Each structure stands twice: as structure tokens, then as C-alpha cells.
Amino acid sequence: MESDIKILGHRGYSAKYPENTQLAFQKALEFGADGIELDIQKTSDGKYVVIHDITTGRTGKTDIHIAESTYEQLKTIDLGNQQTILTLEDCLKKFSDQTFLNIELKEDTLTPKDSSKIKSILKKYPFENILISSFKPELLTSYQKSNIPFGLLIGRETKEQSLFSRLVKVFQIKPNYINLPINIFYIYPHWLCYTIIKFFKFLRKKIVFWTVNRKTEMHWIVDWADIIITNEVEKMIHWVNHAKNSTNDND
């Protein structure tokens, strides 16, 4: 019996293939993922491109700044395995009708105006398979009155922005999903983590956990997760299905 939890490849199948590339996305799906998670930044000529960092230094063989470069410059960069940088529309054309996409809007280069423009792009595609997420609440507000699901990422709290203040944002922007980092279980007592999760469930929020790569971590959240984002696609699918099957055997 297969699990009803969606397993998404974090930036594709990034444990084995160059992250945020067509190859990584294809391999995540080939090996059984229900979908993919990807990141969006904006170029100097206003193109929305699929990359996590603000520069290409970590993932590419040439180091240039995304916001200071045109897409024509960026698409020449080798990301490994003959992969190059995709645009958001490239990705939507290729994958939106066959998989679940969690698209993270990066606050490094995007503004609320970009969110509205991206929403217009998404409307061309079957967005029942799309989840928009961001750490920046202001990038999500344009989705409040649309039927495109959106999720607030929690996990970058500071002294000025406490965990409590992030919880307040949930009431303000009313996201459909809460995207929680698995490392909350390393930071806070487990009883507190489960109290927070139960609170969100009481509010009828769906829960996304990121980035879950260990079997132990999977066991912490398998009874609560609607979506698990992982680098280790094959392992996570096996672990979750085995855990769910064991639970059913004990019923």
C-alpha cells in the first residue's frame, strides 16, 4: 500500500544530480517522486530563472550574480552533466501537467510586484498541481484572493523576528500550507514541536517538512506530514512506504 504523503525532490533529485536542473527534475520523477521543489530568482532583464542562490558560484562552473546578469548570459553557464539554467516557463511547460510543483519565491531578487507577474504566468498552467511558498510573507499576499495554494516557510527566525511572530503571520496571511524545517526537532523539545504541528493541524493547515534526508527524521514526522521534501528521493519513498505499511499491519 502506497503512502498518501507526497514526496518531493528538493531542487529535484539533488542528492545525485545537479540541483534545480531539468535532469534533476526528470530523475526525481523517474525514481518515483510525486513532484519537485524548485527556487525562483530574477535576472537583470526581468526573466524568472530556476536557481536557489543569488550567484552561480556554488552550482555552476562560472560565478556571476543573478540580479546583475541577463538570461542570455546565465544560460551559457554549465551546471554539470550538460545542464543549463531553466526559466520558470521552461519548467512549467515541461512539468506542470504531470507532477506537483512547489515553487519557492526567493526574497533576494523578487518583490511583491514580481509575485503578481508570476501569478499571471502560473494561470496559463494547471495550478491545482502547484504550491507557491516563500519565507517573505509580502511575496505571498497576492495569492490570498486566488485559488493558487500558497505556503509560508518557517525557519529563519532571528532575535527581531521570533518564532511567535512567525506564527502571528499565519493568522495575517492565512496560507494553505505551513512549510516547516525538520531542524525544528533539533532546536526545540519534541513535545513543543508536536504542539506547534497540532496547532497548525487544528487550523486545518497542510504541513510540508523540509529538508528530510534521514530515516530517523522521517519517523518523527510521518504521521503528520502532507508533503516531505527530500534530497534522497529513492530512500525517502522506501522509508515512508515501509513505515505506512507497518502501521497498517498493526491496525
Q: Measured between alpha carbons, how far is 38 from 8 in angstroms, rounded to an integer?
A: 10
Name the one residue in this structure whose C-alpha cell is 495554494: 149
- The per-residue pLDDT for 156 is 65
Which one, of 113, 96, 149, 119, lies nearest residue 86 by Cα?
96
How many CB atoms are closer than 10 A to CB 202?
8
Q: Measured between alpha carbons, how far is 162 from 14 in angstroms, rounded to an integer?
A: 31
How many CB atoms are closer than 10 A to CB 120?
10
Based on the residue annotation, tell me whether 52 is a catalytic residue of this protein: yes
Q: Does domain 6-250 have CATH number 3.20.20.190?
A: yes
SS3 (DSSP) at 40: strand
Q: Measured between alpha carbons, how far is 60 from 90 in angstroms, rounded to an integer?
A: 19
How many CB atoms are closer than 10 A to CB 15?
20
Q: State the maximum Cα–Cα separation within the chain, in Å, rounded to a whole number.
A: 57
Of the residues 10, 219, 238, 242, only one is catalytic, namely 10
Based on the residue annotation, tell me whether 190 is a catalytic residue of this protein: no
Name the one residue in this structure whose C-alpha cell is 524545517: 181
Q: Measured between alpha carbons, how far is 155 from 162 in angstroms, rounded to an integer?
A: 10
Q: What are phi and psi of 177, to 5 degrees?
A: -125, 150
Query: Considering Cα of 176, then 182, then 188, then 192, what sign does the dihedral take?
Result: positive
Domain residues of the chain, as ranges?
A: 6-250
Q: Measured between alpha carbons, how far is 139 from 171 in angstroms, rounded to an integer?
A: 16
How many CB atoms are closer than 10 A to CB 149?
18
- The per-residue pLDDT for 105 is 98
Question: pTM for this one?
Answer: 0.95
- The per-residue pLDDT for 90 is 95
Cα–chain-centroid distance for residue 167?
19
Q: Measured between alpha carbons, how far is 242 from 5 in angstroms, rounded to an integer?
A: 12
Q: Tell me how far CA of residue 206 lies from CA of 178, 202, 240, in angstroms.
A: 6, 10, 18
- The per-residue pLDDT for 78 is 97
Of the residues 52, 219, 238, 242, only one is catalytic, namely 52
Which residues of the chain, if any, have pLDDT below 50?
A: 1, 158-160
Tell me if 117 sits within 8 A of 150, measured CB to CB.
no
